[in-house]
Amino acid sequence: MIPRLVIAGTHSGCGKTTVASGIMSALTARGLIVQPFKVGPDFIDPSHHTLICHRACRNLDPFMMGEDGVLDTFLKSCEGADISIIEGVMGMYDGVDGSDCASTAHVARLLHAPIVLVVDVAGMSRSVHALIGGYREFDPSLGIAGIIFNKVGSRRHRQMIESSLVAEAFGWIPRRDDIALKSRHLGLVMAHESIALAEAGAVIEEHCDVAKLVAAARAAPPLCPLNKPSFVKRSAPLVTLGVAMDAAFCFYYQDNLDRLRAYGADIIFFSPLEDSIPAVDGLYLGGGYPELHLAGLEAAESTKTLGLLVDEGLPVYAECGGLMYLLQAITADRTYRMCNILPAEAEMTKKIQALGYVKGKSRSNTSFIPVPIMITGHEFHYSHIVAERDARYAFRLSRGKGIDNGQDGLWINHALGSYTHQYFTNRFAEAFVKAALRYKNR
């Protein structure tokens, strides 16, 4: 049995990230091994959870992973853990296109996990119980074990709410602006930029009943494992892949890295801002915040030399910020020269250019990607890319915007850059490693 809790919210901004992180911190401080999870495609909250728990946070997303993928990732990741805490996404019932799919409720149902509902009570007293009643009755099959009341204004405010409770209270958290994270255009700041959420554990200890939280988690029923594992890890590496990891490039799904390793990749991390390109058989450039480091990237040695390696046939897969890095230039306050590998330029804008889930498949004649191969993922960016007229695209999307009206995956030689943050399938990971092996044996 795996003790587990889903921390759900009534809506975005109700405080569930702070509460979930605080619970993880409090449990870790008590000596428990906590395995963190995040519902949905987010990269930022998991960076905080990983820092707090000292274990890699995993995303749980039925749209990208499938329902079996959610259960498989959960079961494998919980090995050796005492308890798992799963932070939800948006409001508890908010899924794809207004459906249940990929909602917090969907994941809680798949994992048979008790739910703790975080409710922002600012501006309400007795009315909050009507809200809670609606959440409990909307899907009675889900078990809301208790409520954490957030942003309680005063002792009197608590008393007015407490006099009419309709569900068990697990905590009463006063308004605390000092543990709220600052935001930027892609969301909250990353874990290496703030320790505010790690300090939320003391707030949970003071204002929540941690024993009740643990008891609720331990009341979760056993889970049946899948009959067939998603992949079997190779005993020895076949190739070495370099993965960009620094302040500019830091968005990765842990499952993607695990799948690459499973198919034979030894992964080494490097900083395009600070390091030269390492001696590797392939490169993976994730998303992040290259627009905040344009001058440094323009001057970096990696920027000047990567094109030569691509000319030699080095396979490179890049996503969102990584895609922008492979372009000719990025314009923000001025135009900065980038790697000049893919035939396009990017411009930063003040409005979201694309946000949401992506689904598509590979096209014929597509770099190192086999045809057809299905992809799923997520896109979220403020940049706009203008490609040259003869640019070639690897993916045709049935859902999502991509680079140009449903086309995504600019490529040249074995360098491929996509706006989509892809959740790797086994076939994609295997194809990437095979491309690196061909380069190694050239």
Domains and CATH numbers, the chain: 4-218 (3.40.50.300), 239-440 (3.40.50.880)
- Tokens linked to 249: 């490039």
Q: Which of 339, 381, 348, 374 has its CA nearest to residue 359? A: 374
pLDDT grade for 184, boundaries at 50, 70 and 90: very low
Q: Is the pLDDT of residue 214 over 70?
A: yes
State whether residue 146 is helix, strand or coil: strand
Nearest Cα neighbor of 350 from 291, 298, 401, 406 is: 291
197-210 mean pLDDT: 89
Question: Does residue 183 surpass a pLDDT of 60?
Answer: no
What percent of the chain has pLDDT above 90? 89
Closest C-alpha among 381, 224, 177, 372 to residue 291: 381
Placement of tokens 């949401």 in the chain = 356
Looking at residue 1, its pLDDT comes to 82
Q: Yes or no: say if 212 and 248 are a contact pair by the CB < 8 Å rule.
A: no
Q: What is the pLDDT of residue 365?
A: 76
Q: What is the mean pLDDT of residues 423-440?
A: 97
Closest CA to 422 of 300, 296, 292, 323: 323
For residue 184, the surrounding DSSP H or E stretch is strand 183-184
The length of the chain, given as a count of residues: 442
CA distance 261 to 396: 27
Cα distance between residue 394 and residue 399, in whole Å: 15
The model's confidence at residue 127, banded by pLDDT at 50, 70 and 90, is very high
Could you tell me the pTM of the whole model? 0.94
Q: What local confidence, expressed as pLDDT, does residue 181 receive?
A: 47
Q: Give the per-residue pLDDT at 196.
A: 65
Lowest pLDDT segment from 44-48, 51-55, 223-227, 292-296:
223-227
Count Cβ atoms within 10 A of the Cβ of residue 84 and give its class: 0-12 exposed, 13-18 middle, 19 or more buried: buried
- Identify the band that residue 226 occupies on the pLDDT scale cut at 50, 70 and 90: confident
| pLDDT averaged over every residue in the chain | 94
42 has a pLDDT exceeding 50: yes
Distance CA 406, CA 401 (A): 5
- From the list 57, 78, 250, 320, the catalytic residue is 320
- Identify whether 208 is a catalytic site residue: no
Say if residue 149's pLDDT is above 50: yes
Query: Model confidence at 176, in pLDDT bands (50, 70, 90)?
Result: confident
81: left (phi over 0), alpha (psi -120 to 50) or beta: beta
Cis peptide before 278 (omega within 30 of 0): no
Averaged pLDDT, 18-45: 96
pLDDT digits 0-9 by tens, 313-346:
999 999 999 999 999 999 999 999 999 999 999 9
Strand, helix or coil for residue 361: strand
| Mean pLDDT in residue range 57-82 | 97
Do 288 and 191 touch, CB atoms closer than 8 A? no
CA-closest candidate to residue 356, choices 420, 271, 281, 406: 420
Residue 91 has pLDDT above 80, yes or no: yes
- pLDDT score, position 239: 98
- Residue (of 367, 348, 382) closest to 431 by Cα position: 367
CA angle 212, 7, 83 (to 5 degrees): 60
- Measure CA 375 to chain center: 16
**Which amino acid would we find at residue 43?**
F
Q: What is the pLDDT of residue 178?
A: 67
* Mean pLDDT of all residues in 115-122: 97
pLDDT bin (cut points 50, 70, 90) of residue 230 is low
